[in-house]
Structure 1
Amino acid sequence: MTTNSFGAKDTLSVGDRTYEIFRLDALQAKYDVARLPYSLKILLENLLRTEGNGAVTKESIEALATWDAKAAPSDEIAYTPARVVLQDFTGVPAVVDLAAMRDAMAELGGDPSKIEPLVPAELVIDHSVQVDAFGNPEAFRVNAEKEFERNEERYQFLRWGQNAFDAFKVVPPDTGIVHQVNLEYLSRAVFVNDGAGADGLPQAYPDTLVGTDSHTTMVNGLGVLGWGVGGIEAEAAMLGQPIPMLIPNVIGFKLVGELPEGATATDLVLTVTELLRQTGVVGKFVEFFGEGVTRLPLADRATIGNMSPEFGSTAAIFPIDAETIRYLGFTGRPKEQLELVEAYAKAQGLWHDPEEEPTFSQIVELDLSTVVPSISGPKRPQDRISLSEAKVEFREALGNYVTAEDEGGAGDDREPGVAPHGPTGESYVDEGSSLSFPASDPPGAQVPGNGHGSDGGEPQREHDHSNVATRPSTRVEVELDGETFELDHGHVVIAAITSCTNTSNPAVMVAAGLVARKARELGLNRQPWVKTSLAPGSLVVTDYLDRAGLSEDLDALGFNLVGYGCTTCIGNSGPLPEPISKAVNDADLAVTSVLSGNRNFEGRISPDVKMNYLASPPLVVAYAIAGTMDFDFEADPIGVGDGGREIFLKDIWPSTKEVAQTVEDCLQADMFRKSYAQVFDGDANWQGLQIPTGDRYEWSDDSTYIRKAPYFDGMPAEPAPVEDIQGARVMAKLGDSVTTDHISPAGSIKREAPAGQYLEAHGVKPADFNSYGSRRGNHETMIRGTFANIRLKNVMGGGDPLPEGGYTRYLLDDGKLPQGEKAWIYDACQAYAEAGVPLVVLGGKEYGSGSSRDWAAKGTNLLGVKAVIAESFERIHRSNLVGMGVLPLQFPEGESADSLGLDGTEEFTITGQADALNAGDLPKTVKVQAGDVSFDAVVRIDTPKEADYYRHGGVLLYVLRQLLAA
């Protein structure tokens, strides 16, 4: 029961039902809460409803009601999400931890049944399918069978969890991507908790959530407030723990105008990502408003919300409006729910009025009409490139990936299979295409590649393509499937329509199909070296592509269905054909991938691919046809069609009207109802699994997939006092923008790496290694893969530069490892642990950016790292470090490891945290002594609740002790 200090408890009648609600306008007479941004209104309702739960006080409600938009965040609140969403990579270790907590509770004399999700938790299995088979009609069947062969034990474990925990549901494999399933089915917009109100009334409140994937923010497009957290925070939320947070700054993003002809939602989101990265929104909410919002369909809003982690914000939300209601109805939500969402939003001041402007910390504005076709890369989502500049930018970037001896000066010589430079000649024109322009396009014509604005004015930038710099070239002859061709730097070896970012959006998916259709009609095909794949976000996508007849066209260009799940975007691209892979590695070729995803970090997509570019689904198809990134879609023909005609991109690009009409004709509401009718049932493979029984899991010492989590081993009922860090050594000195992909085990497992050695020692053949993500339930594999990314660069001194990969320098002279020589990070950490030596990591700016990978923090903890000292942290990873009992520290403002003269060979002592934390205080700084260098580091334990977690050695130990005490 809430304390209800402000008299906000009331009722709302909708149809024949009456709901208990907590009215925001109850505070209006004293506090001007109507001025608050939409997102903060949702948080305010959350506090009003949970006041008196031990974490929410009257004072915290007043702090939010009197929010100062311009002030730096300083007031802590406790947010209680309505539900938790998980995917299987992060969900498996979460269930492993819950199962281990039940064992620990029993060992401490408590009741294991107390370990039970107290809020609904829904897991979607979507991260385990890998693109082994592609480019043929059997690809989906083959990949699905391999998925079950590789993951049977994990899936058995998840089915056990579904039976063992009452509030835990699992969406089986081959159903869809978690964020699209969340958007199309799981989300409520307004949550109803039956019987939770006074006198047994149902309680209605905003649908809120946290998810174990950073792209949980996709549902922000539906007006649902939620964001990605590590599995650590998610487990605490599942167990009823409020999430501590500082009231954030809220950036208002004003949208005006509308997208021009030829621009897609992908182009828009890449533009937004670039703009907000330049603005600086890490740790802040972004909220979209203005008349331009009304012109964006829900799918476009979700595409933008999805990319929130890429521009660094905690959330990127759109308020509820008529488009929200339309989408909810179209995707099969019942009429009663639609009526409730609209009535509740209007009663609470949550309905979007394009004429109103809430109070924001800062306002950024974008005229949608200025968006141009774009890609992003070669290694960061925010590095947007106008398509008209793609060839120039690629050539400039290539020098960073090709050594001097590779430079052969290929100049403008075209790759085999690509039409040569020369007179444009007569191009084929499709009457229905927005790109059907004569050779001299009119001013302002919005076509991919022309660089013009939409107002008929001058081009945005002058592009002189006659003087493009020559580029390095290393041509290697390859024979594949009876065909011989040459492979060179810049060739596109992966073209993947993949990931939740775009596969939720019918407009760009249909556009991809139409590009394939037009290309097929003109006699074009993909280049033979391109691995093509189509991984839709839900079964609905296949239905509407089939209904439009576009699946056949995509299949003809090699974009056959490979599975329903996160494939290429998370590194599950599967192996390249052996002749391609061999040629790439033997000649050290800088080949590329093009994917319709949200992540293109180094080493993420494929171990064979150095350069990765994000693009819209229709551009992915176009690049598969072109076969190379060294390509100008404006000046270069994309290929030679039937009759020897040169074909350009504009000849196969569909008009906005054509796309919209096709979507209207092929996408129907009945598809959603059919696809989600038995969403939790699964296919015969899922139903046929042998399921363990019992409330406590029977661990197997022989398992290489599921092992009992070690965090609770030997855990006392009361935490030991915090100690200062003495005599620590540096495990790694890292640069700027080190992502959780660099830290956390991800992608394929190399045979020679510690994880590969471990698996082989346990009888696993290299062909059965599977991915790190699939083995997240086994800490023995995961700690061996932490800090083992093939692109991780440890720049610590003390000798010759260390090679890229999971290497460090062992600094002790104790005979365990050669002193000062390179060693696997895992091996060195084991030796340090045996010697009783704690470890620290030195980092640069934006340490831990990227996904909400809990293993980036779990692995750091289990390797013996006690503190990470960086110039700045990204939100999720900093929080996860605290949640695993690792101390996050920041160098003094303006200082870095380099400016302080630290090379990583020093011995570190960190003092000042123990006395403060043991006294119940939150230290602001600590004293760091590193060799002869001394400095005060800023302590990034940001809230009192985080201090509690750190004192207990992590959030899971804290929760377990709280439940034991209760």
Structure 2
Amino acid sequence: MSHDSLTTLSSLQAGGSTYHYYSLPQAADTLGDISRMPFSLKVLLENLLRNEDGITVDRSHIDAMAQWLDKRCSDTEIQFRPARVLMQDFTGVPGVVDLAAMREAVQKAGKDPALINPLSPVDLVIDHSVMVDKYGNPAAFRDNVAIEMERNRERYEFLRWGQQAFDNFRVVPPGTGICHQVNLEYLGKTVWQKEVDGNTIAYPDTLVGTDSHTTMINGLGILGWGVGGIEAEAAMLGQPVSMLIPEVVGFKMTGKLREGITATDLVLTVVEMLRKKGVVGKFVEFYGDGLQEMPVADRATIANMAPEYGATCGFFPVDEQTINYLRLTGRDEAQLELVEAYARAQGLWREPGHEPVYTATLELDLGEVEASLAGPKRPQDRVALKNMKAAFELLMETAEGPAQSQESKLESEGGQTAVGVDNSYQHAASQPLEMNGEKTRLDPGAVVIAAITSCTNTSNPSVMMAAGLIARKAVEKGLATKPWVKTSLAPGSKVVTDYLKVAGLQDDLDKLGFNLVGYGCTTCIGNSGPLPDAVEKAITDGDLTVASVLSGNRNFEGRVHPLVKTNWLASPPLVVAYALAGNVRLDLTKDPLGTAKDGKPVYLNDLWPSQAEIAEAVEKVKTDMFRKEYGEVFDGDDIWKSIKVPESKVYEWSEQSTYIQHPPFFEGMGEHPEPIDDIKDANILALLGDSVTTDHISPAGSFRADTPAGKYLQEHGVAPQDFNSYGSRRGNHEVMMRGTFANVRIRNEMLDGVEGGFTRFVPTGKQMTIYDAAMEYQAQGIPLVVIAGKEYGTGSSRDWAAKGTRLLGVKAVVAESYERIHRSNLIGMGVMPLQFAAGTDRHSLRLTGAETISISGLSGDIRPGQTLEMTVTYADGTTTRCELLSRIDTANEATYFRHGGILHYVIREMIGAA
């Protein structure tokens, strides 16, 4: 039991059982009125009350939470202990690789390797490995699964080993669903429970996940967010998540969505508003009477995209809608009783009209939301549907004009919408194209990928049914998908297939080429597979700027497909509409999508279903569907069950494997950490601009034979057609370090007009790949730094963005600002994140990449928020100095950095405790 200095342990009855809990109302007797504290902070407060131990959590932390209400912010660091951890396989495989390597390190130290074992429940869902190799035919799903199993057998054998080697570790096999949707529909409980000293303790369900879209679960009243794989591993191993008590921005919703407006349109509006507001590192909490009739599926759509609006989480409190969803998805009635009784007892139940106190607020009348997309390369750049044609034309015109601007503004009634513009958008004539024996032409703006995919929208029956209804009406009118469009349907769970079939809509989607291709995260993470050869040739021959339209949450450049320069996020029904239209250079509010079999033009309004039609279709979603699909969720198919693995505590590494290799992170690790030195005479590996994402830094998607990773695999007997993706090879550091900073769209300002993972090797002036240069620097014993602009590390929680940075020999990153997860991950891998002082940047310092960098102040005691000094020595021998802020923000982070990384600290602590 905890210290419970406030004597808050109480009990309640629910579902015929007695539960004990740490009472927030009883704590308020001492702390003062906390009834208007944001719901998300009440969850954190309960976590502190329950885990008060006088060491990691003491009374001062609890008092600081109560005092938040006075200032609406806090500089107090707290230790948060989530109830569980969620992983997907891209981030989960390297996590299990690290655990296996840690076990080996502990065994070498003469201790029991079983000391390394998850202490919190861990669920790993294999959902990121299926690729859209086959599409547009009834066998696509079967064929893609077979290819997936063949490609990933080594990885799956390794995960099967982990399943039996580690306690508290469950694996959801491939072909089941996307981790966030499985979490929402099955794993999440809203209220968790465990036995402690003979009592059943009830407490809020909380989690951290190795995917940034873990926030989707916030729609179910569950507090959770994405962390790096490194941080998640530490949480699994009993380390608390260190964080400052956050600011909480309240987002008030009023009114109702208009006819024809979807949850996707709403979320793209929310993303735009919150990005403009600035909520990086903050909690966002939704409130207002607009929530009264907003179903959990819509809430989850909004919560899912918290990383896109930059917040740590996007929280919806528990209310009647929560209970309705838990009941629909087949949760036990006793659990439903517990959720309601616990939420009401704790003041965690949302009452109509209740308005908590927030750091800041903003408001949206849902009736003002309009049909929208977002693109061409950032999720926050919303474009009203009526402005899409003009947006694309402006993109092209600005790109070909003599004066290039980084960002052009398109005015619309929906507000200012940024359309990113740069030299990579070229205006070109259409190209001849022959598809299926039919001669046609491929124009600029052609939609070459139309994908209903990702957790964001396929969790929402209303938009999925709408897509099916549009398909039905299109088929009835004799419309067909344009031949150059690669179509795919990759739902987040098998339940989607069940209800589309029962509604009779899957047949109509099939007729338009939206056949099931897999249950997993596909196009959104770059697993879109190859385009038809003829389409790829036409794009390449004409250097065409073409488009993808996808119902996902990410559209960063180079992510969806290397040849597709503009990528537009849209609702599933709009994905179908653009597949029919075949080009984004149309105004779908006015221009026809095609011609009906009677010769008349067909407009979007002719196909768009009414709210009543959608509601009637959604009524076909039944509880039995969820119970059937999740009844054997951990079992897998016959192929999965047939995978045989050795039963051993320590993994038997194979030197022949090109998927799983023993990582070098713990080699030569002593019982005590080495002293940290100042950085002296470092070279700059890369000089980067603003909004460099983890997609730019971390290996993701496919790669070519002439890249360092491609050359490595070919040297190890892997043919290019069997490369798979970077994500699938995250368990092999040799591949991943070669792919770090290798994104085809990254721009290193050390080189003029060169895209891709290249740099200048300063000692000789030669241009080479970043990997080759880094290895040359390492051979010469020269330390490295990376210099960057604002928002460094935006995007997904990619642990390899930090791991690869370390393995390349980078000692520090100096940027104007960071996004939360990547900054934390850098520290977790022993790389120092430093921030320029206001008014100083790479431009004011006149950096070209030819300079050497020295940073002093590291060799003393590492503390949060230190000011360090950087000396820049220019090529002519002159120098300048500037101050840098250490972005080690908390005492825990300082401890991890002193040890060379978070996992090194955990090993030393466990060996010491043994």
Which category describes the TM-score, using the shorter chain as reference length?
over 0.9
What do the CA deviations read for 1:733-771 (whole angstroms, capped 9, x no partner)? 000000000000000021110000000000000000000
Residue 309 of structure 1 corresponds to which residue in structure 2? 307
What do the CA deviations read for 1:619-670 (whole angstroms, capped 9, x no partner)? 0000000000100112211111111111110000001111011111x21110
| Structure 2 Cα separation of the partners of residues 892 and 69 of structure 1 | 30
Pick from 612, 622, 625 the counterpart of residue 577 of structure 2.
Answer: 622
| Structure 1 Cα separation of the partners of residues 72 and 321 of structure 2 | 33
| Structure 1 Cα separation of the partners of residues 158 and 829 of structure 2 | 24
Residue 701 of structure 1 corresponds to which residue in structure 2? 655
Pick from 890, 893, 898 the counterpart of residue 951 of structure 1.
Answer: 898
Deviates further, 249-258 or 45-54: 45-54
**Distance of aligned partners of 1:764 and 1:937 in 2 relative to their CA distance in 1, 3 Å threshold:** same
The answer (yes or no) to whether the contact 1:916–1:922 under 8 Å persists in 2 is: no
The answer (yes or no) to whether the contact 1:802–1:808 under 8 Å persists in 2 is: no
| Structure 1 Cα separation of the partners of residues 401 and 522 of structure 2 | 31
The answer (yes or no) to whether the contact 1:705–1:778 under 8 Å persists in 2 is: yes
**The residue matched to 2:35 in structure 1 has which SS?**
helix
Deviation at 1:399, TM superposition (A): 3.9
User: Counterpart of 2:617 in structure 1: which amino acid?
Assistant: T
| Structure 1 Cα separation of the partners of residues 844 and 168 of structure 2 | 51
Structure 1 position 729 matched with structure 2 position 654: no
Pick from 276, 280, 298 the counterpart of residue 282 of structure 1.
Answer: 280
The answer (yes or no) to whether the contact 1:916–1:923 under 8 Å persists in 2 is: no
| Structure 2 Cα separation of the partners of residues 737 and 399 of structure 1 | 24
Deviates further, 551-560 or 681-690: 681-690
Deviation at 1:481, TM superposition (A): 1.8
Runs (5+) with no aligned partner, structure 1:
406-450, 454-459, 462-469, 813-818
User: Counterpart of 1:573 in structure 2: which amino acid?
Assistant: S
Structure 1 position 353 matched with structure 2 position 351: yes
Residue 936 of structure 1 corresponds to which residue in structure 2? 883
Matches within 5 A, 1:415-564: 472-564=427-519
Identity %: 59
Deviation at 1:94, TM superposition (A): 0.2
| Structure 1 Cα separation of the partners of residues 677 and 440 of structure 2 | 63
Residue 790 of structure 1 corresponds to which residue in structure 2? 744
Deviation at 1:311, TM superposition (A): 0.3
What do the CA deviations read for 1:43-62 (whole angstroms, capped 9, x no partner)? 00000111117311111111
What do the CA deviations read for 1:329-379 (whole angstroms, capped 9, x no partner)? 110100000000000000000000131111100011000000000000000
Residue 29 of structure 2 corresponds to which residue in structure 1? 29
Output the TM-score relative to the length of structure 2. 0.96
Output the TM-score relative to the length of structure 1. 0.91
Residue 709 of structure 2 corresponds to which residue in structure 1? 755
| Structure 1 Cα separation of the partners of residues 291 and 254 of structure 2 | 8
User: Counterpart of 1:375 in structure 2: which amino acid?
Assistant: L
| Structure 1 Cα separation of the partners of residues 272 and 865 of structure 2 | 36
Pick from 528, 533, 557 the counterpart of residue 573 of structure 1.
Answer: 528
Structure 1 position 585 matched with structure 2 position 540: yes
**Distance of aligned partners of 1:765 and 1:525 in 2 relative to their CA distance in 1, 3 Å threshold:** same
**The residue matched to 2:64 in structure 1 has which SS?**
helix
The answer (yes or no) to whether the contact 1:524–1:639 under 8 Å persists in 2 is: yes
What do the CA deviations read for 1:858-880 (whole angstroms, capped 9, x no partner)? 10011110100000000000010
Pick from 368, 376, 379 the counterpart of residue 378 of structure 1.
Answer: 376
Residue 810 of structure 1 corresponds to which residue in structure 2? 761
Deviation at 1:690, TM superposition (A): 2.1
**The residue matched to 2:318 in structure 1 has which SS?**
coil
The answer (yes or no) to whether the contact 1:378–1:397 under 8 Å persists in 2 is: no
| Structure 2 Cα separation of the partners of residues 933 and 655 of structure 1 | 65
Residue 388 of structure 1 corresponds to which residue in structure 2? 386
What do the CA deviations read for 1:72-130 (whole angstroms, capped 9, x no partner)? 54110000000000000000000000000000001112221110000100000000000
Residue 136 of structure 1 corresponds to which residue in structure 2? 137
The answer (yes or no) to whether the contact 1:87–1:126 under 8 Å persists in 2 is: yes
**Distance of aligned partners of 1:209 and 1:640 in 2 relative to their CA distance in 1, 3 Å threshold:** same
The answer (yes or no) to whether the contact 1:228–1:852 under 8 Å persists in 2 is: yes
Deviates further, 631-640 or 315-324: 631-640
**The residue matched to 1:353 in structure 2 has which SS?**
coil
**The residue matched to 1:644 in structure 2 has which SS?**
coil
| Structure 2 Cα separation of the partners of residues 565 and 471 of structure 1 | 33
User: Counterpart of 2:759 in structure 1: which amino acid?
Assistant: T
| Structure 1 Cα separation of the partners of residues 426 and 905 of structure 2 | 57
Deviation at 1:71, TM superposition (A): 5.7
Deviation at 1:916, TM superposition (A): 2.5
The answer (yes or no) to whether the contact 2:400–2:426 under 8 Å persists in 1 is: no
Pick from 636, 644, 653 the counterpart of residue 591 of structure 2.
Answer: 636
Deviation at 1:400, TM superposition (A): 5.8
Residue 192 of structure 1 corresponds to which residue in structure 2? 193
| Structure 2 Cα separation of the partners of residues 730 and 573 of structure 1 | 34
Residue 125 of structure 2 corresponds to which residue in structure 1? 124
Residue 327 of structure 1 corresponds to which residue in structure 2? 325
What do the CA deviations read for 1:772-807 (whole angstroms, capped 9, x no partner)? 0000000000000000000000002xxx61511010
Structure 1 position 680 matched with structure 2 position 607: no
**Distance of aligned partners of 1:832 and 1:53 in 2 relative to their CA distance in 1, 3 Å threshold:** farther
Matches within 5 A, 1:839-878: 839-878=784-823
| Structure 1 Cα separation of the partners of residues 398 and 236 of structure 2 | 45
**Distance of aligned partners of 1:499 and 1:114 in 2 relative to their CA distance in 1, 3 Å threshold:** same
| Structure 1 Cα separation of the partners of residues 220 and 686 of structure 2 | 42
**The residue matched to 1:301 in structure 2 has which SS?**
helix
Deviation at 1:16, TM superposition (A): 2.3
| Structure 2 Cα separation of the partners of residues 823 and 314 of structure 1 | 37
Deviates further, 144-153 or 17-26: 17-26
**The residue matched to 1:960 in structure 2 has which SS?**
helix
User: Counterpart of 2:602 in structure 1: which amino acid?
Assistant: I
Residue 168 of structure 1 corresponds to which residue in structure 2? 169
The answer (yes or no) to whether the contact 1:189–1:222 under 8 Å persists in 2 is: yes
**Distance of aligned partners of 1:562 and 1:548 in 2 relative to their CA distance in 1, 3 Å threshold:** same
User: Counterpart of 1:722 in structure 2: which amino acid?
Assistant: I
Pick from 727, 731, 741 the counterpart of residue 777 of structure 1.
Answer: 731
**The residue matched to 2:669 in structure 1 has which SS?**
coil
**The residue matched to 2:860 in structure 1 has which SS?**
helix
Deviation at 1:309, TM superposition (A): 0.1
The answer (yes or no) to whether the contact 1:157–1:692 under 8 Å persists in 2 is: no
| Structure 1 Cα separation of the partners of residues 427 and 870 of structure 2 | 47
Residues paired across the two proteins, number: 893
What do the CA deviations read for 1:546-575 (whole angstroms, capped 9, x no partner)? 000000000000000000000000000000
**The residue matched to 2:895 in structure 1 has which SS?**
helix
Residue 446 of structure 1 corresponds to which residue in structure 2? none
Pick from 735, 759, 781 the counterpart of residue 836 of structure 1.
Answer: 781
Matches within 5 A, 1:657-668: 657-664=612-619, 666-668=620-622
Deviation at 1:218, TM superposition (A): 0.3
Residue 418 of structure 1 corresponds to which residue in structure 2? none
Deviation at 1:15, TM superposition (A): 3.3
**The residue matched to 2:861 in structure 1 has which SS?**
helix
Runs (5+) with no aligned partner, structure 2:
404-411, 417-424, 874-878
Pick from 235, 243, 248 the counterpart of residue 233 of structure 2.
Answer: 235
| Structure 1 Cα separation of the partners of residues 847 and 34 of structure 2 | 49
| Structure 2 Cα separation of the partners of residues 307 and 936 of structure 1 | 35
What do the CA deviations read for 1:795-839 (whole angstroms, capped 9, x no partner)? 02xxx6151101011112xxxxxx112111001100111111111
| Structure 2 Cα separation of the partners of residues 923 and 177 of structure 1 | 38
| Structure 2 Cα separation of the partners of residues 395 and 476 of structure 1 | 18
The answer (yes or no) to whether the contact 1:802–1:822 under 8 Å persists in 2 is: no
| Structure 2 Cα separation of the partners of residues 354 and 869 of structure 1 | 47
| Structure 2 Cα separation of the partners of residues 46 and 28 of structure 1 | 15
| Structure 2 Cα separation of the partners of residues 477 and 723 of structure 1 | 61
The answer (yes or no) to whether the contact 2:865–2:889 under 8 Å persists in 1 is: no
| Structure 1 Cα separation of the partners of residues 480 and 894 of structure 2 | 59
What do the CA deviations read for 1:893-922 (whole angstroms, capped 9, x no partner)? 1321102222221111101122132xxx43
| Structure 2 Cα separation of the partners of residues 334 and 398 of structure 1 | 55
Deviation at 1:32, TM superposition (A): 2.2
